[in-house]
C-alpha cells in the first residue's frame, strides 16, 4: 500500500504567495524527505527531516513533521514562477524497510 500521500494534488498560487503542501503516511518512519521534479525531469532532493525532529528550514523552505499524526508539511515562502514543479514526499518503512516510498505528488503552479 502507498506510504506517502500528498495533499492537495494540485495547487495554483500567485507569485509572492506562500505554498503549503501536506504529506500523510501510514507506518513508523526513521525520516521523511521532500523532493521536487520539474516536468519530465529527474527528482531533486530538497530536505530530509528525521523522526526526532519537528521542524527544519532550508532557504525559503520550511518542513514540519508530526509523528503522532503521521504527517508532514512543506511550506514554500514568497513563491516564484521558477518554483512551478511537482513536489513529492518520500518515507522509509521505519525499521522494517530500507526502501524509500514516494507519494503521488503535489503539482504546484506559480503564476507570474
Partner 1 sequence: ETGVTQTPRHLVMGMTNKKSLKCEQHLGHNAMYWYKQSAKKPLELMFVYNFKEQTENNSVPSRFSPECPNSSHLFLHLHTLQPEDSALYLCASSQEEGRETQYFGPGTRLLVL
- Comparing CB distances to partner 1, the nearer of 1 and 14 is 1
Collapse the DSSP code of 81 into the 3-class scheme (helix H, G, I; strand E, B; otherwise coil) and give the result: helix
By CB atoms closer than 10 A (0-12, 13-18, 19+), residue 72 is: buried
Residues in contact with partner 1 by CB under 8 A are: 2, 30-31, 33, 35, 40-45, 48, 88, 92, 98-105
Smallest distance, partner 1 to C-beta of residue 34, A: 11
- Comparing CB distances to partner 1, the nearer of 84 and 86 is 86
Which cell numbers hold the place of 57?
A: 528550514
Smallest distance, partner 1 to C-beta of residue 78, A: 25
- Comparing CB distances to partner 1, the nearer of 9 and 18 is 9
φ, ψ for residue 82, nearest 5 deg: -70, -10
- Is the CB of residue 87 less than 8 Å from the CB of residue 95? no
Smallest distance, partner 1 to C-beta of residue 102, A: 4
Amino acid at each position: 500500500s502507498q506510504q506517502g500521500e500528498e495533499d492537495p494534488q494540485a495547487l495554483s498560487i500567485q507569485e509572492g504567495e506562500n505554498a503549503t503542501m501536506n504529506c500523510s503516511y501510514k507506518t513508523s518512519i526513521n525520516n521523511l524527505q521532500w523532493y521536487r521534479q520539474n516536468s519530465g525531469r529527474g527528482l531533486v532532493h530538497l530536505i530530509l527531516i528525521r523522526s526526532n525532529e519537528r521542524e527544519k528550514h532550508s532557504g525559503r523552505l520550511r518542513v514540519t513533521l508530526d509523528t503522532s499524526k503521521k504527517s508532514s508539511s512543506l511550506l514554500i515562502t514568497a513563491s516564484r514562477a521558477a518554483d512551478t514543479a511537482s513536489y513529492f514526499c518520500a518515507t522509509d518503512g521505519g525499521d522494517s524497510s530500507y526502501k524509500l516510498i514516494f507519494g503521488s505528488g503535489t503539482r504546484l503552479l506559480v503564476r507570474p
